Every structure is written in C-alpha cells, then in structure tokens.
Structure 1
Amino acid sequence: MDKPVCLIDTESDGTLCVQRSALQILQQIQQPVVVVAVVGLYRTGKSYLMNRLAGKQAGFALGSTIESKTKGIWMWCVSHPTKIGTTLVLLDTEGLGDVDKGDSKHDTKIFSLAVLLSSTIVVNSRGTIDNRAIEELQYVTELTEYIKIKSPDEVVDDSEFKFLPNFIWAVRDFTLQLNINGQDATEDEYLEFALKLKLGNSSQVNNYNLPRECIQKYFPSRKCFTFPFPTKPDNVSHLETLDQADISKKFLEVTDRFSQFIFDQSQVKNLTDGCTVTGRVLGHLVKMYVDTFSGGAVLCLENAVIAMAMIENESAMKEGLEVYQSGMEKLKDSFPLELNEITSKHQCFRLMATQTFTKRSFRDNDGKYLTSLEEAISHQYDAYLWDNEKASEAKCESLMSVLSDPMTERINQGFYASIGGYTLFCQDLEDIVNQYNTLACKEVKIAEVLEKFLREKVAVTTAIQQADDKLTENERMICEERERAVLLEQEMIAQEERQRQLEEKMKTEQQNNEERARQIMLRKQEEMSRQQQETKRAMESKQREQAALLEKSFQEKADRMARERAELQRKNAEQEEIAARTYAQMIADQQQRNEQNMEVLRQQHIQQMQAIHYRPRPRSESSCSIQ
C-alpha cells in the first residue's frame, strides 16, 4: 500500500462499519501480520509516529487545528522492515475525548477494537504520566463490559485477559527529569512508578488504583518512551514537511529508538490459543468484532474464533481440493495413462492439497476438516481412475477395430467359408492379438477389451469351423475345447489385471492413511507447543506481578496472585489432559475409518482371488491359441 485507507468508519447514526475495500486488501495478505495500533487523546500527534513506523514522512493525516483529524480507524499495510515474510499493519485510531462525538461509549469501542486487533498498542499522551493522564485512560477499566473470553455463563478470571497486546506508553512533549526519590530512573521505571498502587481500601484509594490495576493485569508487558518537544511551537503544525535539520536531534533519537523497539519486539499477532493471525484472518476478525459492537452485543472471543475457524477451514478445504483438481484436470488431458503414473501424480497432488489446507486451516484440532478433504480427494481419485479406464477402453477398442477391420472384411466376403478357412482364420486372429498386445501393452484395459473381442468372435469362429469341410468331427470337438480354454485363459488374465489394480489402490490407500495420521500428529504437537508457550508466558507474568506486590507490601493481593497462579496451573493441566484425550479419540476414530475403508478393499480382494482360484485352468495349447 502506498497510502493508508479507512478500515473502520462511523456512519451518520454513530454506528461503526467496516470498509469493504480495506477488507479486500487484508484478504490478499497471506502472510502473518504484526499489528501496531496507536490510541490517545486527539491532537497529541499519534499519526506522526505511525508515519515514521511506515518509513514515510507523511501518510496518516496530521491535524493542525483543534478539530480531530483522524476518524474511525485507518490502516496502512507495509512490508515488515526486519521480519521477512511478515506484513506490518499500522492502525491509527481517531482521537479519544473528542467533544463532538456525543456518544460516550464510542471511544470505549474504538479503544476495545484497537486492543483486540493489535499485537502492540501504543498509548500516546502529552506532558507527564500523572493521575489525570491515567484517568483519561479510563477505557481500560471498561474492557470487560464489551469483551468476554468465553460465553457469558462461564466465570472467567481477569487473568484470562493476558492475551492482550504489548503495551507502550509514548509520552510526548516531556520536560521533566527522570528522577524518582532523588535517584535517576529509566523510562520504564518512570512508567511503573506512575502505575504504583496506594495502600488502603477506601473508595478514593480504590478509584485511584482501579485503572492502574487494570493496566497491570491486562498488559503484563509494558514499555515507556519519553519524547521531548520536536521543534519550535510555530513548526509543530506542519511537522511532516520539516527538514530533519529543523527537528530536535533528541526527538529524532527517541523516535528511532521507539521505531526500532517496535520492529524488534512487536510479535506476530496471535489469538488466545497462540494461533498465528494472517492478513486474511485479521480481516475476518475486524468484520466479526465490528458487527458485534454495532449490534450492541458483548463480544465473546471464543465464539468469534470458533466462527472464524469454521469459515477459514471450509475455505481451506475448498482451496486444497481446487489444488488437487487443478493438477488432476491437467493430467486428465493426457489420459489414458498407466496406473502407476496416475497413482504417482495423485499422491503428488494430494500432498500439495493437504499442504495448501494446512497453510490456511485454523484450529482444526480434531482433524475434522482435514479428514473431509482427504475423503473428497479419495472420491475425486476414484472418479479420475474411472475416467482413465474409460479413456483406456476407448483407445483399446479403437486400436482393436483398426487391427481387426481387414479380417472383418474377409469374413463379410466369405473368405474363410472354404476348405482350410478355419486355419487361415486362426492365423489372422492370432496375428491381430499379437499386434494388439504389443501396441496396447501399457493400457489398463488391455486384457478386458481383448476378452470382450474374443467373446464377440465366438459365434463367427464356430460358424467358420463348421463350414470347413477339411475338419473331421473329432477335430471340431477338439478345436471347440481349445477355444473355450483360450477364452477362459483370457478371462483369468483380465481378472488378474483387475486384481493387480485393486492391490495398487490398497497400497495407495494405506500410504494415504499413514500420511494423514502423520499430518494430524504434527498439527497436534504444534497446537500443544503453542498452548504451553502461552501458559508459560502467563505464569511468568503472574510470578513477576506477585513478586512486585510482595515487594510493595500488598500481601493480600500477592496471596490472590498466588491463588491465580495455582488455578492457572490447574486449568493448564486440565486442558492438557482434555487435549490428550481428544487427540487419542481422534486417532482412534481415524484408525477406525481407515480400517473400514481397508476392509471394503480387502473384501473386494478376497472375492477377486476366489474368482481366480475357482476358475478351471486350460488343459492344452490350441492350434488357434492366442497368447
């Protein structure tokens, strides 16, 4: 994108709406996304920071009047400068606290959307982080009014909100000395000092502590940057057009540190269970979140993720099947082919299809959609095998027609209806069969078409034999017996070829089953790894908070934090146990389906083997033998 576009706008009645053109841009982004959103009071210079992150001097609108310039949420997608294969999505939100809005809840919705969509949220303010600045960030205390992790009926600990983004406070026009109690302090220490809780249980103390507690709970990863004045007051209104020489070196130095920190430390956007968010998935999230808020409902993240997973997995399944069909349709132009060649291509395209599915699929934890894709591919494969057989049959029949036309013409002319005609007919027939077997040796229907041809010639053979006065009655009986033996032999050859093809299909099915089980195991291992990482991050965060509370003599809150850690450990162990049971059941179900499919093939195998075994073998060679 060469410039930002409006992602979320506000209609005339105050309802939030998503811009379709912006969603279409996100739908085209297949890469993982790092999402950085900036929030803060209007006219505090948020857009300037976003432009610098985009590597541009201008882009997001900078206001130079008392009127808020940015409306809704604007988006700018650029290639990530340090993470290859990743897209950096910048979200510039409208200024909070604009008196012209009228709707007191509008700002909370904008703030909530910025929090939900981002992997790093930047709070931009001016002056200092004093009590007023923190109170102006009251929206953080209202998050739970709009967002629920699970269904409203389920009781969820506040610690469940640990999935929220990294938190950066950018303090603009900062003029104070970084000094706490006479000691030099870092920017981060300054932030933590500003978030320090007061002792006591009075309503005044509780009101003072509430926003600070929410920031500490919801945003365990916090960072602070203090920016000096960028330039002379007269130049601030057109900051984006100033030469570097006209901007404070200290301001540029902090801006560079801020940008580099964002590039290095802001992680790819993940959901509650650690699933990676791509641009396409982000588009789904934006649409569902905005629709929920616009409808006046409380957003249940679990339900939203489930709904999105269904959309993504159905699309992933369709996309995977299209990959398979595309490859096989091109192959179909070359039909007929040998069975091993079409099987090899089938395996190749099937693997490509499952890889395409895996790349796009989302939370297919029970392998339901992967199994559906495999079953659809299996049905398609059977259809392509049928098409290949029909093409082979048509080719073999055409070849047989060309080879047998001269003999058919002789029959119609009565050429063989004479003394010695039977011997000539047998010689011609044998020549036709030998040529056919040579030219059609690689065709899957070679045996069946030949069997059909010989059966069609039984009546003609008998008539020519009867018309040949050179043969004695005894010789005719011997010839008839030998012809039946030849026909039976050809039937057995055709049956054995069908058996070979069935065995090849069983082998392919077994390989597919093994690959499917391997794919499911890999997905489950990745899922477990993501969950363990998220749990580890949450546990470490709680441990740090508990230590900080103990250090500050908040024993009661530290004890509560210890209980939360124990509860988190219990829930994690319970989730791992459930996941293990689910995985075991999924594998068992998969094995049962595989065994049922294989049993069908085995029964077909047994029936064909019995058909071959119980057929009588020919007893002798024929003077009209066909090999």
Structure 2
Amino acid sequence: MSSRMTSPKPFIGVDSDGKLFVHDETADTLQQHGKPVVVIAIVGRARRGKSYLMNRLLGKQAGFPLGPTINAATKGIWAWITDHPTRPNHNLLLLDTEGLSHATDGDENRDIQIFVLSVILSSTLIYNCQGVIDESCLELLDLVSELSEHLVLRVDDEGNVINMDRIFPALHFVVRDFMLELAIDGQPCSPTVYLEHCLKAKRGFREKVRLQNNSRDKLKSYFPNRSCFVLPRPVTEDEALRQVDEVPEDQLQPAFVDGVTQLVSTIHAQSEPKKVRGVWMNSRHLVEIARNCVLAFRQDKIPSVENAVVAVRQAECLKAVEMALQFYKIAMQDTVEELPLQEDELKRRHRHNFDNCAERTFAEYAIFDDDGDFYNRMKADIEKEYTMICKNNESEALRLCREMLDVLFTSIVQKKIDEDEYSYSDGHFEYIQDLQKVFVLYDEYPKKGPAHCARQVREDFENEKQTQTQLIHQTAGAVAKKEEEIETHRVLIELEKQQNAEAQQALEERLDRLQIDHEENLRRLEQERGEMREQYEERIRRVNSEKQHEIQIRDAEAQRISRELEHRMRLTQEQLDAQQRRADQSADQIRLLMQQNRNLEEGLRHANSRSRGGGGGCAIM
C-alpha cells in the first residue's frame, strides 16, 4: 500500500448505528509516516466553508469536498497527510470534521465526540463559524462545557486541568462573512483582542451567567494559546458562494483573499508539531490515540487522555521492541555467517550492533517509556538472541575444532598408523611427536572460536587417543625388547670381530716394526761398513806414506777384517732369514684369523635372518 495520499480519505467514519469507527485502510496509510506531524483540525457548523479552508491550507483550489446543499459533504473525520510546505522533515495532517449540530444525520452526541477527537489529535484547532464573534463564542462555550464530561482529564486539588499545554492544541477562531466593525467602547481593536474581550466573565447572578462564566474559564484554561481571524463574504452572489472553490481568485473579494492568505500564512508559521507530554507525535502515534478514543466511545465510555497515552505507549513501545530486535538480527546476520568467532570479538560486535542499531531503532519508535520497562524488555529480548548466537558460536566452534583435529590427525598420524610406520622401538616417541605436531598446527589456527571450546575439544581428543597411545607404546616396547635381544647378539659378534681385528692389527704392527728394524740394521751396517772402509783406506794411505813395508801387513789385516765383516754379514743374513720365517708364520696366523672372521660374519647373518623371521608378528591392530 502506498503511503502517499493524492486526495482526502475517510479516517473516522460513522456506522449504521451512528457510532464512530476507524477506517483501517486510511489508518494503515497514516501509520506509514514516521515524521513529526503538524495536525490542523477544523470544526464548526455544516456548510460554513470548513473544507474550503482545508483546501487553502493545502495550497489547492479543490480537494476536500464542499457541500453546496443542505446535506453535509463530510461525515465523521476525513484526513489528508502530505509533506509540510514550510517545515523540512515534517508532515502536515489536515483533519476535516463533520459539521456540528447537523441533526438530520443522527446522534447529536456525535458532535461532542468529534470535537473531543479533534482536540486530542490536533496541534492546531480551527473553530470555523459565521456571523459575529459574540455568538460564535457562545456556540464554542457549549462544546467546551461538555468537554470535561466526555473526556477524562487530570486535574489538581482546585479542579484546574493539569498540563493542558501538553495535550490541547492552539485554538484559532475563524469568523466567516463578518460584516461588523471591530471596536471596544468605540475604539478599534484586532479580532484577537475582541475575542479576549468576549471571553471575560459577565456580571450577574443568574444560573445561566454562572454556567457561561464557568465555560469561559474552562476555555481559557484548556486553550491558553488562542487567536481570532475574521473573513468577509467571499462573493456577493449566493449562487457563486455555493461553488466558491470553483470561483477564480480574481473574482473573489480582495479583502477575503487577503484574509485567507494571512490566515494560511499565520497558521503554517505558528502551528507546531503535535506534542503529548512534551514529546513530538507522528501520525502513527495519533492513529493509536484515535483508536483508543473511538473504542471508548463505542463502548459508551468516556475516553481518557491517560489511557490514550498508555495505548500509544503500549503500541509504539512494543513496535520499538520488535523493530529493535529485527534490526539487531539483520545487523548480526553477517556475524552469524562468520561463526565461530572469539568471545571478545563476538561481544564487541554485539555491543556495536546493540548501540548503533537496536538502541537507536528503539529510541526512534519508543515513546513515553519513562520507567524504562520496554527498554528493559528490548534489552532482555536482545540478550536472549545474543545468548542463542553465543550458543551457536560455541556449537560451530566445537564442530570446526573437531573437524580440524580429525583432518590434521588423519593427514599426519593416521596415515602412518595405517602403513605400520610406528611398529619399531622408538615408534611411540615418533607417534607422540606427530601428535604434538597436530596440536601445534591446531593451536596456530586463529579462527577456532571461543578459547574454552578449543581447549575442550583438544582435551576430549587427547582423552580419546589415550588408548591408541598406550597400544602403540606397548607395541613399541615389544619391538624394542626383540631388537634389544638382536642387538645384544650383534654386539657380542661385533666384539669378537673387533678383538680379532685388534689381534690382526697388532700382528701387522709387529711385522711392520720388524721390517723397520731390519731395514734400520741394514742401513746401520752399511754405514758402519762404509765408515770402516774409509778408516781402512785412510790408514792405508797413512801407512803407504809412512811405511811401505807395512803394506803387506795391512793387506793381511784388511783381508782379516773383510773376512770378519763377511762373517758378520752372514750372521745378520741368517737372522733376517729367521725373522722372515717368523713373519711368514704370522701371515699364516692372520689368514687363519680372517677365515674365522668370515665364519663369524656368516653366523651373524644367519642369526639376523632368524630374528626377522621371529619378529614379524608385532603389528598395531
């Protein structure tokens, strides 16, 4: 349904029993407007040009229907809402009422009911009348005198109405077809001054005077903000008066045109948005007030301003709670899609969306929540929604963390388990290391949600893997025991092998030393032989130089020495031959030891093959 009105719509209707009712379609349209609203209502007798003034306030030549015949054109209350012509971000709501004292249409009590609704709903009330101000005052005083009997008002101990400026509108008298001179005691005055003069208490002791004075006091109390405008007859011909909205402006009386222009300008300039208890109303609020009052009228009860306020408070605050929760859910939707989140981050987003969406939305719709009951209800509803989001966050965190651990465990650990890679003595330690690698990767992942959920999933996972850890530990122990036995056997063989190698090395070192000693002896003998030959030759040369006859003796001595040297060389050669024989015997012993080593290695290989055949049964189930 469009919220834009292109023509007036019936707002308060009259059913076949003569009772008022609210037109739901119009009410629904009005409730779509949330701006502060200036409400101008007009009341007065039928066929006195109320609808004409409404059209001029809209800046239109026609709109609200005019009644040119004895039958009134407006029944109940008609409404037209539009943007305010001079106040940005405000609406203007015009309420055109059924003519008062229209007895041919039914219940006379309906006059006061429509007047009560006009007073409660409007921020500016125009009382449209015709003739002279004195008589117009008397007509309005009759309505005001009945107002307290048809509307429950708050009064103080002295009977004065409390805070009427918080609910009652500004009152503007508009006296049509005014032809008299405005003067008090012969002195010209303004229409408003003359109105105040008419509202002064009259002297006299008759009951009628007392009642009229009482009504004057009530009117001044109820409507402290009041003024008066007078308009001359718009045209001179009665026929044109019946269709005054169709008469071109240049054919209307200039004084009438000027008066209407001034009236419209003043009302638009001075009319404030409707306020109740100091709070600006919008059309949605006013619809609730109207529904409450009409319901009271239909039940033959007196409507209460307080009850109407409570009804508005109830309806608007409930809507505020609902809208705040709805906007909070919308604002949190992206967050919900990102779950799981850390608790601090989720709490930060909750607080941001509560402050910037929920609280602002509540403040926009809520009204008269002075005690904070509905705010607390809104807060409780959002806390309940937030608690549910927190639970979902924990559920998502538990699910994600478990899936993460399962994936990591499968890719790092389970693959090795399936391939039997932990079935050795240190397999248990490798398993523990791989398991720790799983937890390290798990802990490094930042988006696991609440920390306590991540810890809980890890603890549960570790508990689940305890049995498997124990089984791998037992299997590794059995394998380690078997490997220890094999290692012991291997060590004994290696020890024996090492001993043989050491013996072989000792023999080789001994042979090396003998060879070195032999070579050293040969070098020493050669050196001694050379030295002796040199000495001999030297002595020969000396003998030759001293005594020639000693040559033969020296030759004999030389031969003797030569024979002695040859003898010593034969002895040395025999010693070397004996050492060579002993070396050959050591080589035979070494070959015998090497044969024994080969036999031992063959025995070790045979033992290892037997060990592998016996240990193949260790497997992880």
TM-score (ref. length: structure 2): 0.72
Q: Distance in 1 between matches of 2:353 and 2:163?
A: 42
Q: 1: CA distance between counterparts of 2:158 and 2:265?
A: 36
Aligned partners of 1:460 and 1:178: how far apart in 2? 109
Among 447, 460, 479, the alignment partner of 2:455 is 447
Within 2, Cα distance between the matches of 1:136 and 1:224?
A: 13
**1:466 equivalent in structure 2:** 474
Matching of residue 97 in structure 1 with residue 105 in structure 2: no
User: In the alignment, does 2:124 pair up with 1:120?
Assistant: yes
Aligned residue runs from structure 1 range 540-619, under 5 A: none
What is the one-letter code of the residue matched to 2:164? Answer: K
In the alignment, the residues of structure 1 paired with residue 178 and residue 230 of structure 2 have an alpha-carbon distance, to the nearest angstrom, of 6
Which of 5, 11, 21 is the matching residue for 2:15?
A: 11
Q: Which of 189, 203, 222 is the matching residue for 1:218?
A: 222
**Structure-2 residue corresponding to 1:424:** 430
Question: How far does the alpha carbon of each residue in 1:13-71 deviate from its partner, in whole angstroms, 9 at most, with x for none?
Answer: 11111111111012212122221110111111000111111121111111112221111
**Offset of 1:84 from its aligned partner?**
2.0
Post-superposition offset of 1:464: 1.4
Asked if the contact 1:127–1:174 (Cα under 8 Å) also holds between the matched residues in 2, the reply is yes
Confirm whether residue 318 of structure 1 aligns to residue 346 of structure 2. no
1:6–1:74: 8 Å Cα contact kept in structure 2? yes
Where do 1:190-269 residues align within 5 Å?
190-233=194-237, 234-269=239-274
Q: What secondary structure, in the 3-state scheme, does the structure 1 residue paired with 2:146 have?
A: helix
Identify if the C-alpha distance between structure 1 residues 103 and 124 changes in structure 2 by more than 3 Å, giving closer, same or farther.
same
CA distance in 2, matches of 1:207, 1:157: 16
Aligned to 2:309: 305
Structure 1: which amino acid aligns with 2:81? C
Distance 2:136 2:358 in 1: 56
Q: CA deviation at 1:75?
A: 0.6
Offset at 1:102?
3.6
Q: 2:192 aligns to what? A: 188
Aligned residue for 1:341, secondary structure, equals: helix
Q: Deviations over 1:295-341 (max 9, x none)?
A: 11112222332233223222221221222122223321121223333
Task: Tell me the percent identity.
Answer: 34
What secondary structure is seen at the aligned counterpart in 1 of 2:78?
strand
- Aligned amino acid, residue 420 of structure 1: D
CA distance in 2, matches of 1:223, 1:416: 102
> CA 1:160 to 1:429, structure 2 compared with 1: closer, same or farther past 3 Å?
closer
Tell me whether 1:158 sits opposite 2:163 in the alignment.
Answer: no
Is 1:52 aligned with 2:56? yes
Describe the superposition over 1:336-386 as per-residue Cα deviations: whole angstroms up to 9, x where unpaired. 223333222101111121221122222222212212222222222222122
Q: Distance in 1 between matches of 2:443 and 2:481?
A: 32
Partner residue of 2:360? Answer: 355
Q: What is the distance in 1 between the residues matched to 2:78 and 2:158?
A: 32
Relative distance call for 1:336 and 1:156 in structure 2 (3 A) is farther
The answer to whether the 8 A contact 1:125-1:133 is kept is no
Q: CA deviation at 1:214?
A: 3.0
Q: Report the Cα distance in structure 2 between the residues aligned to 1:323 and 1:420, rounded to whole angstroms.
A: 60
Q: 1:196 to 1:150 in 2, by over 3 A?
A: closer
Greater Rg by CA? 2
1:444-494 per-residue CA deviation (whole Å, 9 max, x = no partner) reads 343332222222222222221222247689x9xxxxxxxxxxxxxxxxxxx
Structure 2 Cα separation of the partners of residues 211 and 129 of structure 1: 16
Aligned partner of 1:179 in structure 2 is: 183
Whole-Å separation in 1 of the counterparts to 2:211 and 2:458: 93
Instruction: Quickly say closer, same or farther: Cα 1:435–1:100, change in 2 above 3 A.
Output: same
CA contact (8 A) 1:288 1:304 kept: yes
Contact 1:5 / 1:76 at 8 angstroms: preserved in 2?
yes
Q: Deviations over 1:255-280 (max 9, x none)?
A: 12211222121122122x32332211
Structure 1 CA distance, aligned partners of 2:324 and 2:447? Answer: 35
Q: Secondary structure at the match of 1:37?
A: strand
Question: Residue 465 of structure 2 aligns to which amino acid in structure 1?
Answer: K
Distance 1:15 1:278 in 2: 26
Partners of 2:135 and 2:464 in 1: how far apart?
100
- Aligned mate of 1:129, from 106, 128, 133: 133
Amino acid at match of 2:175: V
Aligned partner of 2:278: which letter? G
Matched, 1:435 2:447: no
**Which residue in 2 is equivalent to 1:613?**
none
What do residues 406-454 of structure 1 show as CA deviations (whole Å, max 9, x unaligned)?
3213324432122321232233223322322233465434333222222
SS at match of 1:130: helix
Q: Are 2:28 and 1:20 aligned?
A: no
Residues 338, 443 of structure 1: 8 Å contact kept: yes
CA distance in 2, matches of 1:156, 1:312: 34
